[in-house]
A and B are shown apart, each in its own frame.
Chain A
Amino acid sequence: MAGDGTVAGPRFWQSHHFQNRAAQVLFLAPAVIYMVAFFGYPIVKNFVMAFQEYSTSTFYTGEAPWVGFANYSAVVSSPVFGKAMLNTVLFTAGSIAAQFVIGLALAMFFRRRFPLNGVLRSLMLLPWLIPLIVSGAVWRWILDKDNGALNRFLAAIGVATDHPGWLTSTSLALVAVILVNIWIGIPFNLTILYGGLQDIPEDLYEAAALDGASSWHRFRYVTWPLLRPVVSVVLVLGVVYTIKVLDVILALTGGGPANASQTIATQSYHLSFQQFDFGQGAALGNILIAISLVFAIFYLRANRRAVDE
């Protein structure tokens, strides 16, 4: 009815404002749905699961009795927890420190121009390209006590003739898995840091050289400050990736011998998928998520400060 004057202007859904909103929502929707389905749901589910007695039966009956903090107290008071936590810290810190230093050194090295630079740089990516199942099996063979390539080499050059048990001695197993993890992590650090170095303008180095800066000074006052944002990305991502490493350890030692290379991640896997105690496995997994979260917050704060400056 045109006479009552209620629809004088364009209808609401024809208004510019509404169409803008709708477009925004539509653009956002895929990302939001994806985040909720593939990040939100599993995390919430895992969080809830840690408060339940979640066993194989639950999958069929759907019944998961509420147990409060019993799962958390069980995993934290377990004798393996302290050892696994320490191992996780050592594994993460050791891996990250060495990956980063070696990755940075290689990135600086590849910044120079020399023949075959590109070929060598792409070869450095190999550890990244080989499936972990394969490289794990090869490393197991290399590190074998009696007939491993490493021990044969060490014996041949007379360094360690007593064939150290890289994967079977409680004092060496963690070192061995850290070494293999460093090898796996170098390409990531190299690639990202090399990319960061490419962004530093060449004329800054020329100016520094004209001012008589030594190579150390050039690194300290030109490279490092300009690389800082990239470094923080590499380190935070490195921590988050390393803290949850499972496949490397499972393939090499399975957490043994005598829990010498057990980490929070492998223990959580064991509880869920070997002992079928999904509630306790989830509780341990949540502790891991909480630790990762702390690093993520550090990262966000550091980034914000950088923007503020």
Chain B
Amino acid sequence: MIRSPRSRRAQAALASMLTLPLALTACGGGSNGGGSNSGGDSSTLRVLDYYNNEPSKTVWQKAIDACGKQAGVTIQREAVPGATLIQKVLQQASSRTLPDVLMLDNPDLQQIAQSGALTPLNDLGLKADGYVEGVVNASTYKGKLYGLQPITNTIGLFYNKDLLAKAGVTPPTTWAELKTAAKKLTSGGTYGLAFSAPANYEGTWQFLPFMWSNGGDEKNIATPQTAQAVQLWVDLMNDGSVSKSALNWTQADVNDQFRAGKAAMAINGPWQFPALDEDKSVKYEVAQIPAPVAGKPVVAPLGGETWAVPQTGNKDKQAKAAKVIACLNSDDNQLSLAKDTQTIPTKTALLAKFSSSNPNMAGFVDQIPTARARTGELGADWPKAATKIYTAFQSALTGQATPAKALETAQNG
């Protein structure tokens, strides 16, 4: 999931400057295997995740504690800020102090699995039967399952009901409708649409539903399909329907614009609900992201975090860790975690039930069966492709090059 505000990125920069030398220093002593986890009693499991903000922090604490109890272990949990998790994991990998249960943002899983630091879950008796395909793809590396993801999320089209009613506009379902609706809704200080298109992975994440739904693919972005998707964003900006500021907006900024009524529609995720609901005056609903043409399925990106068992060398603890992860993924836990943290369960059979009991999530849930994982195709090479994608659309949106040319340059760069 991509929800970090800009300041967090700067913090991460500082944090990583500080932690890299430490991580590197730790490399020296890392070759002896086993490490501190191999010995000792196996009645305590160390858990590492990045749910360090309320309400997620407490919700997850309760769920993990309950699952620990069920597996007969006490839980020692550490929740670090999102931007520092990977640095922490790399540090722990080199000093052989990885936790017993590790949460990872789903696009990072294959990166870590590639290093050999994770245990294949199949070996521990866990399977991903009945899960949404895209979710399983993200947690699979070289044919083996390395993570189980209890909840997911994606992005949809938020719209301000009052502003749409006033302009006599119905929620757009196709790109053509999106363009006309956005133009009609733009007046005075209000833009028709807001999205986040900065020069980072958050921008790529927001662009993916347009690129993928139109048949674009990250293996080669220099295609007419992807160019059309970039063209849509360029048109929306050139029409004046989207502020040029989108080039520097985080998704949190987009939400601020939407909440302040400065954008009638916005591309955003369900994690914005709590912030939006603080202001009762904004009446909004969520629809699916418009498809290129009517009837074509929308392919949205899958967010959320997956749970893995690192190679700690302690078989007993690994077995118990697998039990905790299986418990977090039980039907009941998927449903309650999803409800309490504004996310979506990952088992296909639970979607309809969840959607009917949480109507505000319907717009997102409907997209899940066809949604894709960012690392589904390229695995650990995803970051390079993601960089190319945002480099291309930024170049086109700022008028440096035509969409086709910008994509070609980025693909070859």
Which A residues are closer than 8 A to B by beta carbons?
38, 41-42, 45, 55-62, 78-80, 132-133, 136-137, 140, 144-147, 165, 167-170, 246-247, 250-251, 253-260, 269-270, 272-276
A50 CB to nearest chain B CB (Å):
13
Indicate if the CB atoms of B90 and A144 lie closer than 8 Å: no
Are B248 and A59 touching (Cβ within 8 A)? Answer: no
Is the CB of B117 closer than 8 A to any CB of chain A?
yes
Contact of B394 among A41, A140, A144, A256 (CB under 8 A): A256
- Cβ of A111 to closest chain B Cβ, rounded Å: 36
Measured between C-beta atoms, what is the minimum distance from A100 to chain B in Å?
A: 26
- Say if the beta carbon of B243 comes within 8 Å of chain A: yes
In residues 16-32 of chain B, which contact A (Cβ within 8 Å)? 16-17, 20-21, 23-25, 27, 30-31
A43 to chain B, nearest CB (A): 10
Q: Using an 8 Å CB-CB cutoff, how does the interface string of B1-26 with A read, 1 for contact, 0 for none?
A: 00000110111111011001101110
Apart from A167-B245, A273-B16, A274-B200, what are 18 other A-B pairs with CB-CB below 8 Å?
Answer: A45-B24, A58-B115, A62-B27, A79-B413, A137-B6, A145-B243, A145-B244, A145-B245, A167-B248, A250-B10, A254-B199, A256-B199, A257-B394, A257-B398, A259-B199, A259-B391, A269-B16, A273-B87
Those 9 A-B pairs whose CB atoms lie nearest each other, nearest first: A256-B199, A57-B115, A60-B115, A60-B93, A168-B247, A258-B394, A251-B10, A60-B117, A59-B90
CB distance from A75 to the nearest CB of B (A): 12
Chain B residue nearest to A148 in the complex (CB)? B245
Q: Are B248 and A56 in contact (CB under 8 A)?
A: no
Q: When chains A and B are docked, how far (Å) is the Cα of A55 from the Cα of B383?
A: 12
Find chain A residues with CB under 8 A from B243 CB. Answer: 145-146
A165 lies within 8 A of B9 (CB): no
> A147 CA to B262 CA in the complex, in Å?
10
Decide if B25 touches A61 in the complex (CB within 8 Å).
Answer: no
Please determine whether B262 and A170 come into contact, CB atoms closer than 8 angstroms. no
Q: How many whole Å from B401's CB to the nearest CB in chain A?
A: 9
Q: Min CB distance, B157 to chain A, in Å?
A: 21
- In the bound complex, how far is the Cα of B194 from the Cα of A147, in angstroms? 15
Contact yes or no, A250 B115, CB < 8 A: no
Contact yes or no, A56 B114, CB < 8 A: yes
Given contacts A56-B115, A145-B243, A167-B248, contact A275 B10 (CB under 8 A): no
Q: Are B9 and A250 in contact (CB under 8 A)?
A: yes
Closest chain B residue, CB of each to CB of A261:
B199
- Separation in Å of the B290 CB from the closest CB of chain A? 24
The answer to whether A258 touches B27, judged by C-beta atoms less than 8 angstroms apart, is: no
Inter-subunit contact A56/B111 (CB<8 Å): yes
- Chain B interface residue bracket vs A: 35 or more
Query: Do B413 and A78 touch across chains, with their CB atoms under 8 A apart?
Result: yes
Indicate whether A59 sits within 8 Å of B111 (C-beta atoms), given known contacts A80-B413, A145-B243, A168-B244. Answer: no
B11 CB contact (under 8 Å) in A38, A61, A133:
A133
Assembled-state Cα–Cα distance A276/B384 (Å): 10
Flag if A257 contacts B247 (CB, 8 Å): yes
- A254–B391 contact, CB under 8 A? no
B116 within 8 A of A: yes
B199 touches A258 (CB 8 A): yes
Choose among A59, A79, A147 the residue with the greatest number of B CB atoms under 10 Å from its CB.
A59
Contact B245 A146 (CB under 8 A): yes
* A-contacting residues, B76-104, CB 8 Å: 87, 90-91, 93-94
Q: Which residues of chain B are near A275, meaning CB under 8 Å?
A: 383-384, 387
In the complex, the answer to whether B114 meets A57 with C-beta atoms within 8 Å is yes
B116–A57 CB distance below 8 A:
yes
B241-252: contact bitstring with A at CB < 8 Å (1 yes, 0 no)?
A: 001111110000
Query: In the complex the two chains form, what is the Cα distance from A41 to B20 in whole Å?
Result: 13
The answer for the CA separation of A137 and B397 in the assembled complex, in Å, is 24
For B24, give the chain A residue with the smallest CB separation: A45
Minimum CB distance partner of B311 in chain A: A60
User: Across the interface, do A258 and B398 meet the contact criterion of CB distance under 8 Å?
Assistant: yes
The answer to whether B394 and A250 touch across the interface, beta carbons within 8 angstroms, is no
Q: Within the assembled complex, what's the spacing in Å between the Cα atoms of A59 and B112?
A: 10
Are A133 and B198 neighbours in the complex by a CB distance under 8 Å?
no
Q: Which residue in B6, B17, B90 is a CB contact (below 8 Å) of A251?
A: B6
Instruction: Supply 14 A–B pairs (Cβ within 8 Å), ascending by A.
Output: A59-B115, A133-B11, A145-B243, A145-B244, A145-B245, A146-B189, A146-B243, A165-B244, A165-B245, A168-B244, A168-B248, A250-B13, A251-B9, A275-B383
Tell whether B395 is near chain A: CB-to-CB under 8 Å: yes
Report the bound CA distance from A61 to B94 in whole Å: 8
With both beta carbons as reference points, the residue of chain B lying nearest to A273 in the complex is identified as B16
Query: Which B177-220 residues have C-beta < 8 A from chain A?
Result: 189, 198-201
Distance, CA A132 to CA B398, complexed state (A): 28
Q: Indicate if the CB atoms of B14 and A247 lie closer than 8 Å.
A: yes
Q: In the complex, what residue of chain A is closest to B111 when comparing beta carbons?
A: A56
Instruction: Give the docked Cα–Cα distance between A62 and B189 (Å).
Output: 55
Q: Does B170 contact A (CB under 8 A)?
A: no
Residues of B within 8 A of A61 (CB): 115-116
Query: Is the Cβ of B24 less than 8 Å from the Cβ of A146?
Result: no
Minimum distance in angstroms from A199 CB to a CB of chain B:
35
In angstroms, Cα B15 to Cα A273, docked, is 11
One of B27, B383, B398 near A170 (C-beta < 8 A): B398
- The residue on B at minimum CB distance from A164 is B244
Judge if B400 is at the interface, Cβ distance under 8 Å. yes
| B409 at interface, CB cutoff 8 A | yes
Which residue of A has the minimal Cβ distance to B390?
A256
A181–B18 CA distance with the chains assembled, in angstroms:
22
Q: Measured between alpha carbons, how far is A202 from B19 in the docked complex, in Å?
A: 49
Shortest CB distance A232–B (Å): 28
Given contacts A169-B398, A257-B398, are A144 and B245 in contact (CB under 8 A)?
A: yes
B195 CB to closest chain A CB, in angstroms?
A: 13
B254 CB to closest chain A CB (Å) equals 13
> Whole-angstrom distance from the CB of A61 to the nearest CB of chain B?
6
Within the assembled complex, what's the spacing in Å between the Cα atoms of A254 and B147? 31
